A and B are shown apart, each in its own frame.
Chain A
Amino acid sequence: MTLADATIGSRLKVVSRKRMTSVDGESIAGLGIHIGEEVIVVRAAPFSGPVLVEVPSSGVRVAMGRGMAAEVVVEPANAVA
């Protein structure tokens, strides 16, 4: 499962990043979405636009393009907790 196809509103844990350039990877991390971090996909934009990802630990919200979101692998957060 990736951030692009995750259920809206469910708690997720970032597992890994697929094919992503180091700059993109760093950018995502810079915005607060680190590997191992818990995130929630809050909403999705129309016309297969970006998804809005919240990082509950800091309250940060980030808009992420669908293409990039499809590179971020996640799993349900309660599966590990």
Chain B
Amino acid sequence: MRWHEGQANRAGKPLAEPVREVVIALVGQPNCGKSTLFNALAGFKANTGNFPGTSVTFTTSRVTVAGMHARIVDLPGTYSLTPRDGAEEVTRRYLTEGHADAIIAVVDASVLSRSIELTLELLETGLPIVVALNMMDEAGRKGIEVDIPALEARLGVPVVPTVATRGEGVVSVTLKGMAAARTRRSGISPVYDRDIEQALTDLSQIIPLSLAAELGVPPRFLSVRLLEADPFMLRHLEGRMPPAILERATALRQHLAKLHDWPEESVFGSHRHAAAVDLFESVATVRSRRRLSRRERLDDVLMHPFWGLIFAGLALAALFMVSFVVGSLVAGVVQKPFDALANWLLPAATSGIWADIGRGLLDGVAGGAGIVLPYLLPLLLMMSVMEDVGYLPRAAFLIDGLLHRVGLHGKSVIPLILGYGCNVPGILGTRILESPRDRIITALLVPLTACSARTVLILALVGATMGPLAALGVYGLNILVTAIAARLLSAIVPGNAPGLLMDIPPYRIPPAMAVLRKVWFRVREFLVSAWPVLIVASVIMGVLENLGVNTWVNSALAPMTTGLLGLPQAVGVTLFFGILRKELSLVMLFQALGTSDVTSVLTAAQLLTFTLFVTFYVPCISTLAAQVREIGWRWTIVGALLNTGIALIVAVAARFAMGG
């Protein structure tokens, strides 16, 4: 295939080299199990979840199977090659810029007739393809049986049945993908009716071969795109495609639409759909569909207009309460030996720079193990289960109507819920939103959500001293403030929210190993990147204390900390460190106050004020960086000011409400 080789050369990959590393792209519709398949191959590297749009960027990994090497790329899910949002466009661009040597088309066998439509489109790219017929277990439960050899014959490519959650068929499909990349044999492109084929031939003949080569796709693929009036492709081709060809394409498109009596944009879609249904009927048999009724009964409650909302509220409260109960129990057990060790190693009377450094070190280690981890673990575990079971899209369905009242739509709830785990994936998750307006508003709202680090802070400060209900109250207030901010932002940011359109996947019982691996993936992030920062910062704080720098920072911040918020001057430094990582504010607070028994130094009102301020003010550096990447500098600064403004208002209000 000439176009393909041309592209490979342009990308600087020497073709002559016999054992060049092949690049295999995993492509499939959202929620078909691509990332699960990827993780089964590469170890846990990509995030997974039972909701559409878990992967918004692509993750790549080198894998070695049976002594052969390849680079596997996990691309965001897309329903078709006509992208609807930024995440889908990532996939389309990757495929049409000649990066991939072969495609593993991941197909959800349980919704085969729809899932295979994308494969039909992929066949038109001319790239070698292997089909991973995934979720065979679920298809089996739905009574769907697939005749694999018949499907292979129809598509002209290898088909491998897989159950990615259990790792079944994963190695086999990868080996076939590697082989396909080397043989460069493409499958059978779908054939349309006579009129369409005629139009495609007409157009393909006048498309310059050099342009097709430059884009790394066959001329026929370009013709299909042009006749489909794919807006992204048209923009991509602007100035490169001779206007005469574009005019010809428009004329042909109108002609075809009139012939078929369909809207212009759905001529190809409808044909592909018909082809997919025909394919499904000839290769698959459906025995029974008993399984569906069980899901229906569960949804009767969980998606019920009233009980569903009640359940959502209870689920959130349960998530919070269990984290608190387990967290405070474990924290109590873990903290004591650390305190004893600290007293034994460094009696209170010891002074000097080494004592300060030692104390910083101990505080940092103890803070991570004794305060952060006990609350973080149960929270992450429960959130992972909730994500994998498939509850999030249902929550989005229920809340969509309410979110419209504040100018957003239900899909925004997914980045916001992700934000409760960690703001960074929440902000990246805004890519699943179609309109730039929604992306900006949601990316500005995500930092207001109390991420797990701030939840730990709320639980450890307010929860442990004023009881779990008070902590739940702070959480509730957090949601209320986020809603008010949403209303304000949607009034300020121009444009309006488009409608929700989202797949509601069936419930899935995640394998325990998958959940544990995911929790470990996130805990490791804390252990590897957050905890060391915590320890180093804690030591730095010890040194600063010794040098007297912290008193300087504290007095500089005093007008705000003591004047406005009514807090002891010593907390100034902790706020400053909190910008690095929110957990730091907590650990630093103990260090700054010189005790882990904060109630002996701070009043309830002060604790609440401090917690609220830290919850809402400038997000951590990683979050700011993600914001800059997604929405740019200007909006990030607006967001930081907004956050600080809200933090001051809420904290001062709390101070006076509590009579501080």
> Which residues on B sit within 8 Å (CB–CB) of A32?
111, 114
A8 → B minimal CB distance (Å): 11
B404 CB within 8 Å of chain A: yes
Within 8 A of A (CB), among B276-311: 277, 289, 292, 296, 299, 303, 305-306, 308-309
**Assembly CA distance A75 to B500 (angstroms):** 23
**Residues B398-415 near A (CB distance < 8 A):** 398-402, 404-405, 409-410
- If the complex has contacts A22-B231, A47-B405, are A60 and B303 also in contact, measured as CB distance less than 8 A? no
Bound CA span A17–B269, Å = 14
CB distance from A43 to the nearest CB of B (A): 6
Q: Which residues of B contact A44 (CB under 8 A)?
A: 305
B80 at the interface (CB under 8 A from A): yes
Q: Which one of B9-17, B257-265, B550-558 contacts A? A: B257-265
Q: Which of B82, B264, B405 contacts A23 (CB 8 A)?
A: B82
Q: How far is the CA of A44 from the CA of B146 in the complex (A)?
A: 34
Q: Is the CB of A62 within 8 A of B263?
A: no
Verify B231–A57 contact, CB threshold 8 A. no
In Å, the complex CA distance between A49 and B501 comes to: 12
- Would you call the interface of chain B mostly helix, strand, loop, or mixed? helix
Question: Could you tell me if A59 and B289 are in contact, using CB atoms closer than 8 angstroms?
Answer: yes
B397 touches A45 (CB 8 A): yes
A50: CB under 8 A from chain B?
Answer: yes
Instruction: Flag if A62 contacts B410 (CB, 8 Å).
Output: no
User: Which B residues are in CB contact (< 8 Å) with A34?
Assistant: 266, 269-270, 273
**What distance in Å separates the Cβ of A56 from its nearest Cβ neighbour in chain B?**
9
Q: Separation in Å of the A60 CB from the closest CB of chain B?
A: 5
CA distance A59 to B398 in the complex (A): 21
B398 and A49 form a contact (CB under 8 A): yes
Most buried by B among A22, A36, A63, A64: A63
Cβ B114 vs Cβ A61 within 8 A: no
Residues of B near A45 (CB, < 8 A) are 303, 305, 397-398, 400-401
B603 to chain A, nearest CB (A): 41
B503 within 8 A of partner (CB): yes
Residues of A within 8 A of B264 (CB): 22
Verify if B110 is at the interface (C-beta below 8 Å from A): yes
Partner among A25, A31, A64, A68 whose Cβ is within 8 Å of the Cβ of B265: A25
With an 8 Å Cβ cutoff, the count of chain B residues facing the other chain is: 50
CA separation between A65 and B396, bound complex, in Å? 11
For residues 24 through 73 of chain A, which have their beta carbon under 8 Å from a beta carbon of chain B? 24-32, 34-36, 42-50, 52, 55, 57-69
Scan A3-35; emit 1 where CB is below 8 A from any B CB, else 0.
000000000000011000011111111111011
B401 touches A46 (CB 8 A): yes
Given A23-B84, A23-B231, A61-B504 in contact, is the A17-B397 Cβ separation under 8 Å? no
Interface size class, chain A: 35 or more
Known pairs A27-B79, A46-B305, A50-B400; A59 contacts B500 (CB<8 A): no
Q: Which residues of chain A are within 8 angstroms of B229 by Cβ–Cβ distance?
A: 22
B502: Cβ under 8 A from any A Cβ:
yes
Closest to B289 in A: A59
Provide the residues of chain A in CB contact with B405, threshold 8 Å.
47
CB within 8 A of A47: which of B110, B142, B269, B402?
B402
Give every chain A residue within 8 A of B112 (Cβ-Cβ).
Answer: 58
Picked from A17, A48, A65, the residue with its CB within 8 Å of the CB of B501 is A65
Q: For chain A, what secondary structure do more than half of its interface residues adopt (helix, strand, loop), or is it mixed? A: mixed
Chain A, residue nearest B262 (CB): A35
B224–chain A nearest beta-carbon distance, Å: 13
Q: Which of B67-96 contact A (CB under 8 A)?
A: 79-80, 82, 84
B462-501 at interface with A (beta carbon < 8 Å): 498-501
Q: Are B269 and A26 touching (Cβ within 8 A)?
A: yes
Q: List residues of chain B with CB within 8 A of the CB of A17.
A: 263
A66 touches B499 (CB 8 A): yes
A49 touches B231 (CB 8 A): no
* Contacts known (A59-B142, A63-B502, A68-B501); A35 close to B398, Cβ less than 8 A: no
CB distance from B302 to the nearest CB of A (A): 11
Which residue of chain A is the closest to B398 with respect to CB atoms? A45
B-side contacts of A64, CB under 8 Å: 499-501
B113 close to A (CB within 8 Å): yes
User: In whole angstroms, how far apart are the Cα atoms of A35 and B266 in the complex?
Assistant: 9
Which residue of B84, B262, B269, B500 has the most chain A CB atoms within 10 A of its CB atom?
Answer: B500
Interface presence of B393 (CB below 8 A): yes
- Interchain CB contact under 8 A, A65 and B292: no
Smallest distance from the beta carbon of A31 to chain B beta carbons, Å?
6
User: Contacts of B502 on A, CB cut-off 8 Å?
Assistant: 62-63
Q: Are the CB atoms of B266 and A58 closer together than 8 Å?
A: no
Which residues from chain A contact B266 at a C-beta distance below 8 Å?
25-26, 29, 34-35
Within B487-529, the residues touching A (CB, 8 Å) are 498-504
Decide: B82 and A48 in contact? CB cutoff 8 A.
no
Q: How far is the CA of A31 from the CA of B31 in the complex (A)?
A: 12
Of all chain A residues, the one with the shortest Cβ separation from B309 is A46
Per-residue CB contact flags for chain B residues 109-142 toward chain A (1 = under 8 Å, else 0) read 0111110010000000000000000000000001
In the complex, what distance in Å separates the CA atom of A30 from the CA atom of B273?
9
- Distance in angstroms from A35 CB to nearest chain B CB is 7
> Which residues from chain B contact A69 at a C-beta distance below 8 Å?
499
A–B pairs, 24, beta carbons within 8 Å: A22-B263, A22-B264, A23-B231, A25-B265, A30-B117, A31-B501, A35-B262, A42-B296, A43-B303, A45-B398, A45-B400, A46-B309, A48-B404, A49-B400, A49-B402, A49-B410, A50-B410, A59-B110, A60-B111, A63-B503, A66-B401, A67-B499, A68-B500, A69-B499
Taking A23-B84, A30-B82, A67-B499 as given, write out 6 further A-B residue pairs in contact, using a Cβ cutoff of 8 Å, ordered by the A residue number: A45-B397, A45-B398, A59-B292, A62-B502, A63-B502, A66-B499
Q: Point out residues on A near B: beta carbons under 8 Å.
A: 16-17, 22-32, 34-36, 42-50, 52, 55, 57-69
Q: Which 8 A-B pairs have the closest CB atoms?
A: A65-B499, A49-B401, A47-B401, A30-B79, A68-B499, A22-B265, A46-B305, A65-B500
B interface residue numbers (CB < 8 A to A): 79-80, 82, 84, 110-114, 117, 142, 229, 231, 262-266, 269-270, 273, 277, 289, 292, 296, 299, 303, 305-306, 308-309, 393, 396-402, 404-405, 409-410, 498-504
